[in-house]
Amino acid sequence: MPKLQRLRIDAFHAQKGRCCYCSFPMWNVSPDELKPFGLRAKTARPLRCTAEHLVAQQEGGKDVAGNIAAACWLCNTRRHKRKSPPSPEAYRAFVQKRLAKGKWHPPSVAQLRRR
């Protein structure tokens, strides 16, 4: 297994399968893993577990245990879409604020929050 994949799966388990930013459940191999949460495969797609570099790769962040967290695809891509990614702490606060307003996930995913 490639190193980054192993680090991601370790982080996934350490975080009990929850995204480090939005705290929503993620899936590893198949979106069907979120069926017990009442999500259809297509709806669950943005919640794929990805390896999040806490110090971004573009800033020299390496593939080492302390630098890899498990984040859903949606949170991960949105953080790194920015020119200068915010710190993990600042970004988590931002995501949580948006979540509280129901303005982060698509509505079909956001309904999970009520469970």
C-beta of 1 vs 81, nearer to Zn ion: 81
- Cα three-residue angle 24-28-31, rounded to 5 degrees: 75
C-beta of 60 vs 93, nearer to Zn ion: 93
Q: What are the structure tokens assigned to 91, written together?
A: 């970004």
Q: Which residues bind Zn ion (CB under 5 A)?
A: 19, 21-22, 72, 75
C-beta of 68 vs 72, nearer to Zn ion: 72
Write down the least CB distance from residue 78 to Zn ion, Å.
9
Secondary structure element (H or E) that encloses residue 106, with its range: none
Write down the least CB distance from residue 105 to Zn ion, Å.
8
Q: How many Cα atoms within 13 Å fall on the side-chain side of residue 115? A: 13
